[in-house]
Structure 1
Amino acid sequence: MNDKQELQLKRLMEATGALGFGAAPLGNLYARVTDDQADQTLTAAWDVGVRYFDTAPFYGCGLSEQRVGKALARYPRDAFVLSTKVGRLLVPDRTVPEIQHGYVGGLPFRVEYDYSADGARRSIEASLSRLGLDRIDIVYIHDIAQDTHGDDWLRQYAIAANGAMRALTELRDEGVIGAWGLGVNRIEPCLMALRDAAPDVFLLAGRYTLLDTSALSELLPACDARGVRLVLGGPYNSGLLAGGTTFEYARAPADMLERTHRLAAHCARYGVSLKAAALQFCGAPSAVACVIAGSRNPGEIRENWALMHTPIPAEFWADLKRRGLIPDEAPVPH
């Protein structure tokens, strides 16, 4: 990046605020959300102060993008930061089932993976049309990791390295997009992208939380060294830290349940909400620009905003380390 691009990235990430909005639930993830409920939820997010909104073509096969774009069209374009993703193209298909990839009643498209340069450009054009907006601030290459592609992930990564990454670098350098990176659930492709390309920001879900600090040893220092920012998703590890029973979108294993019980007991000793601790822990590292949590109704986004800004005593974090519940070297909120 040149000096102008670095300044643009700094301004972009400062504008996100501490808490962002993850719009996967508004693509009808696991259950239907009405258009009115989606609009009310996005309006509530704006009203409490959220200014960063993340969506993707994958979320309801374009439904989330449509809903996000419609709601944000009411506000000044320079007043918010918007991110979406590439790597999956949506192909019109009226024969698709009611439920696809966990999304219920999405738009009539089927998903095709395409991490090529042409695929990235086509995906951005289609996203702009669905969003009805004039530009996309951040573009992430979506799910280019082992958890999505299994043993084929390195081949798919190579396609992206020679395709989408180059295209997004060109689009950033031309000023068409503000920044690019990866949107993944694993740290390995992020470390590889730092070696192979010049990303600006990663959206990493579930890898720096109270239950999983695997990003701590390598990725956080690497991002600090390169000036690359992190947006952290999945602060509740798909529900376990929010009172649910799922971890990584599956039934939580016994060790994670036991660890969560210990965290909850620690929070109870200090009168601290486990959800507040989970959100604020994610936001502590210097490389982290924003934490995003999904919401499907106005109450959830208002609760998340309040939790992110609830005071937590310093002794709570110090004692958490003494009890071995988080690593000694883990950054904590001040």
Structure 2
Amino acid sequence: MTSRRHFLTLAAAGAALAAASPLMAQSSPAPGSVLPTRGTPRANTALATNTPRPGGRFRPLTRLGLGGAPLGGSLAPTTDEAAHATMAAAWAAGIRTFDTSPWYGLGLSERRMGRELHNHPAADYTLSSKTGRLLTGTAGPLQKTNWHDPAPFRYAYDYSAAGTRRSVEDSLNRLGVSQLDIVLIHDLSPENKDLGMPWEQRFAEAAKGAMPELTRMREEGLIKAWGFGVNRPQPALRAVAEADPDIMLLACQYSILDHEATLHETFPKLAEKGVSVMVGSPLLAGYLTGRERYLYGSPIPEWAPAKRAKIAAVCERHGIDLRTAALQFADAPEVVSSIIPGARTPEQVRANVASMGIAIPADFWAELKQEKLIAADAPVPASLG
């Protein structure tokens, strides 16, 4: 994956489109730069929260959350100090939904996230972590991963009942907090070629082990909800058919650029069971803020640059930025209970929070639908002043 980071200039994107170029014009700022927030703020810019539903399944506190992969060194190295500043900025900005995993930096993300969260009462935030890989310390060579400067641990897949309970206990110890609200069965998905066997075999292991164990932990009051954290829909859909999950973290599956299959096939089946969705990668790992990377190492689809440029040009005409449009679009469906873009700097956190407070005009969404850039029946935010 290239280490260069590109910054999207919306005015240049409009000019590129006018010139019939399929690509966006870009410049190259320092890593960590953010797309400036554009648009008129609403009168009330406080982050939206989820209202508890009598008899309903657990939903996170704030609809905007923080994804913890960058705190573990995804895509670029992150220091302890930078991670601490990012978490402090998230808390100060009102974010109260946090997602992490033992996998992120082999424990680094959990330790760094817990440094901030252990200072606050557990009732004041929602915390999700994951299970499926157990970590063990080692002084020998580490397994090859894509994490930058990971902690010195080895990992092994384990979706058994005993492994799941140990994983939760290990996460609590690394985080230094008293409870996990949500536990997600992680990366048990068709695209994960590291599983050591077909994903269906691992799913069978989880169906006998992790899933009933997490249900017991929910009944015991040790957790409030469980589900899957996956990059493909098949495991989530199979889980709602065979077990009793509460929530799914669907990464890489619902964005302003690519959403129709999830909107029409996955969301209805989850909503039918009362299962909500945490949207991971709503910015496609930076592609919707102008970076020349698509998700997590995937090649940029041939159709993506032209579509991104067209959406950016509509943003320019309506005086908003693409990040703002993308985040609010991902947050709009009723089945979505939170969106959790990652951030590695305080500036990125504050920019994401600012985006959620912009009043996007209804004409913007109407133009996207008229130009067939988003699905005609895609939910969009209410145009509140």
TM bucket normalised to smaller:
over 0.9
- Contact kept in structure 2, 1:9 and 1:178, CA below 8 Å: no
- Which residue, 98, 107, 114 being the options, matches 2:151? 107
AA in 1 matched with 2:246: D
Partner Cα distance (2:254, 2:160) in 1:
29
**1:311 paired to 2:359:** yes
**1:62 paired to 2:116:** no
What is the correspondence of 1:68-87 to structure 2 with a 5 Å cutoff? Answer: 68-87=113-132
Deviation at 1:181, TM superposition (A): 0.3
What is the correspondence of 1:148-159 to structure 2 with a 5 Å cutoff? Answer: 148-149=192-193, 152-159=198-205
- Contact kept in structure 2, 1:18 and 1:283, CA below 8 Å: yes
Specify the alignment match of 1:127 in structure 2: 171
Say which one has the larger Rg: 2
Specify the alignment match of 2:375 in structure 1: 327
Superposition RMSD in Å? 1.7
Query: Tell me, what secondary structure is at the counterpart of 1:330?
Result: coil
Identity of aligned residues (%): 43
Partner Cα distance (1:8, 1:48) in 2:
30
Deviation at 1:230, TM superposition (A): 0.8
**Which segments of 5 or more consecutive residues in structure 1 lack a partner in the other structure?**
none
**1:238 paired to 2:285:** yes
Query: Tell me, what secondary structure is at the counterpart of 2:279?
Result: strand
Q: Please, which moves more after superposition, 180-189 or 263-272?
A: 263-272
**1:146 paired to 2:198:** no
How many residue pairs were aligned?
327
Higher relative contact order (CA 8 A, sep 6+): 2
**1:216 paired to 2:263:** yes
Q: Please, which moves more after superposition, 322-331 or 246-255?
A: 246-255
Partner Cα distance (2:85, 2:64) in 1:
18
Specify the alignment match of 1:289 in structure 2: 337
AA in 2 matched with 1:88: R
**Which segments of 5 or more consecutive residues in structure 2 lack a partner in the other structure?**
1-51
Partner Cα distance (1:178, 1:8) in 2:
13
List per-residue Cα deviations over 1:25-75 (Å, max 9, x = no partner): 111223222211111110100001000110000001001101111111111
Q: Please, which moves more after superposition, 159-168 or 42-51?
A: 159-168
Specify the alignment match of 1:23 in structure 2: 68
AA in 1 matched with 2:205: I
Higher fraction of helix: 1
AA in 2 matched with 1:166: P
AA in 2 matched with 1:307: S
Partner Cα distance (1:94, 1:269) in 2:
56
Partner Cα distance (1:165, 1:258) in 2:
42
Higher fraction of strand: 1
Deviation at 1:248, TM superposition (A): 2.8
Query: Tell me, what secondary structure is at the counterpart of 1:218?
Result: helix
Partner Cα distance (2:177, 2:56) in 1:
20
- Contact kept in structure 2, 1:96 and 1:109, CA below 8 Å: no
Specify the alignment match of 1:271 in structure 2: 319
Partner Cα distance (1:60, 1:52) in 2:
20
Structure 1 196/303 Cα, relative in aligned 2: closer, same or farther at 3 Å? Answer: same
- Contact kept in structure 2, 1:8 and 1:178, CA below 8 Å: no
List per-residue Cα deviations over 1:187-227 (Å, max 9, x = no partner): 11111111010000001112111122121112211222211
Query: Tell me, what secondary structure is at the counterpart of 2:199?
Result: helix
AA in 1 matched with 2:84: D
Query: Tell me, what secondary structure is at the counterpart of 1:240?
Result: helix
What is the correspondence of 1:175-190 to structure 2 with a 5 Å cutoff? Answer: 175-190=221-236
Partner Cα distance (1:293, 1:31) in 2:
16
